[in-house]
Structure 1
C-alpha cells in the first residue's frame, strides 16, 4: 500500500457534494448525467467538474467516501476508477473495485457497539405505513435509512423524537434530502478514512488530507482534514455549521460541485 502513496489524499462525498439529483442540482440544463436508475437519469454534474475530477485524480489519491451501498456506488459513472472507495458510511472498503473482507470484520465490530440493527430499523419501521414514507431499508447489514416522498413531508416532531431515541441507542440520525439515516455512532466516514490513511502510510508519514462533504455524517471527516470544503447548501449549511479549516463555496447546487473540485485541485 505505501509504495504508491501520494503526498495528498482527497476524500470526497458524492451526493449533493459532487453529484446532484434533478431536485438538488438547481438546473439540469447543460449538465452531464452521471448515474441512471432503471434507465432514467438520476444524478448529474457539470461537464467541467467531471473533467476536473480526472485532473484531481492525477494529482492526489482520490477516495470517494459515501453513505451509499456498494451497489448504489457502482451505478455512478466516474471519470476515473478510484483505487480506493469507502462505501456504507466508511463501513465498506473497495480496493480496485474488490470488497475487503478484513475491513468488513472491523466495521462489524464497530457497529456492534451500538444497539443491534433490528432495533435501529424498528425506529424507522414504526412509521413505515405512514403516507409520507416511501420505503425503509437496511444497508450493508450496518445501518438503516428511511426514504420519504418529500423532504417537507417528514414530521419535525418525529425527527426530534427519533434523533433522541437513536442517540440513546448509540446511533446518529442524519437527514439528507428525502432520506433519514440511522448509523451506529462509531461507524463514521471519519473513522474509516483515518483508518485507511493509517494503513496506507504504514510506518511512513501520513498523507495530507483534503475533504469535501455536505451532511452531518460528513462533519467529523471535515474536521479531521488538514483542509476541507463544504457546499453552501445541504444539512450542514442549513444548521450554519462550520469549522476552523472548513471553507464554504460561493455557489450552490451542481455549480458548487464544480467549485469544490476546483478548490481541491488548487490545494492538491
Structure 2
C-alpha cells in the first residue's frame, strides 16, 4: 500500500496573499473562513487530483496547524476525508478525527528532553524579534509562533535564530509572517514514519515547502518542494515543481496521480475471431 503525505499551507492550499503574489488559474475554491474572513483556497485541478489519490492510496495531511485549525478546512471535512491526519507539526495523529493515545503519550515523554515551553516563552520574550511581533501564540502548549509585522520579516536573521533555538533543544522556522519555535522531538516525518510502520506502507510520497518539512521530503521514497519553497534555501537540490504558488499544487498532485493512479484503459473495438 502507498501513501501521499503532504503539508497543506503553501503546498496544497493557499491564502489570497499567495495567490496575488504568484497568480493562479481561474478555477479555485474557498475552503476555509475564520470570523467571516476568507483564509485558504484550493485549485479545482488539485481537488480533482486529491479525489483520485484518496481513492487509490492513503492521503495523509501533515500540518503545523493545530487540530482545531485543521478542522476549519472544509474540503477535508466534507469532500476528501482522510482516515489519518497529522497535526501540530507531528504532535498529534488523528484517526477518523480522534487523537491516537499511544502516539500522544510517546510525544509527551519525548518532550522531557528539551526546554519546557514555559521557559522558552520567557526567553523568546527577550529576543529582539519579539519587538517585531504583532502577536505571540502557543499551540496546545506544544510550540510557539510569533506573527511578525510585515516590516519585521526583513529584519529576522533566520540562521542566528536556528542556532539559538538548537541550543535549547528547539528549532526555528520563518514561514511568511509566522516565526515558529518548535521542540525538536516534534517533526512531521517521525509521525509519518510511525504510520508507515503501523499501516505497513510500502512507499510514501511527500510534499512540503518549509524548513519544517525538510525531513518529510528527504526521508520519503519521493519528496517534492514547490518552486517557491523556503526549504530550497536550505537545500536547493531537492525535487522541485515547475511552477510557484497554487500551480505548484497542481504540479505536485499531477505527479502523484501520474505515478500512482492506474490509467483507465480504453475499450477496444477489435473483434476476436
**Rounded Cα–Cα distance in structure 2 between residues aligned with 1:51 and 1:75:** 20
Q: Which moved more, 1:163-172 or 1:64-73?
A: 163-172
What is the CA distance between 1:134 and its match in structure 2? Answer: 1.6
Are the counterparts in 1 of residues 135 and 148 from structure 2 also a CA contact under 8 Å? Answer: yes
Offset at residue 222 of structure 1 (A) = 0.9
Aligned residue among 73, 76, 96 for 2:73: 76
In structure 2, distance between residues paired with 1:153 and 1:178? 6
Give the 5 Å matches for 1:1-268. Answer: 7-25=1-19, 26-27=22-23, 29-78=26-75, 79-126=79-126, 130=131, 132-150=132-150, 153-157=153-157, 159-201=158-200, 206-243=201-238, 247-268=239-260
Secondary structure (helix, strand or coil) at the match of 1:68 reads: coil
- SS in structure 1 at match of 2:146: strand
Cα 1:193–1:255 change in 2 (3 A) is: same
TM-score normalised by structure 2 residue count: 0.87
Note the C-alpha offset of 1:191.
0.7
TM-aligned CA deviation for residue 237 of structure 1: 2.7
Instruction: Find the counterpart in structure 1 of residue 266 from structure 2.
Output: none
Conservation of the 8 A alpha-carbon contact between 1:33 and 1:44: yes
Task: Please tell me whether Structure 1 or Structure 2 has the larger radius of gyration of its CA atoms.
Answer: 2
Q: Residues of 2 paired with 1:258 and 1:152: CA distance? A: 32
> Matches of 2:236 and 2:109 in 1, distance apart?
30
Equivalent position SS for 1:234: coil
Partner Cα separation in structure 1 for residue 151 and residue 98 of structure 2: 34
Aligned length: 253
Q: 1:152 and 1:17 mapped to 2: Cα distance? A: 24
CA RMSD of aligned residues (A): 1.8
Task: State whether residues 133 and 152 of structure 2, in contact with CA within 8 Å, keep that contact through their aligned partners in structure 1.
Answer: no
Question: Does the 8 Å contact 2:86/2:92 carry over to 1?
Answer: yes
Q: Which runs of 5+ in 1 are unaligned?
A: 1-6
CA-CA distance at 1:228 after TM superposition: 1.4
Whole-angstrom CA distance in 2 between matches of 1:75 and 1:213: 20
Query: In 2, Cα distance between the equivalents of 1:117 and 1:249?
Result: 36
Question: 1:112 aligns to what SS in structure 2?
Answer: helix
**TM-score, normalised relative to structure 1:** 0.88
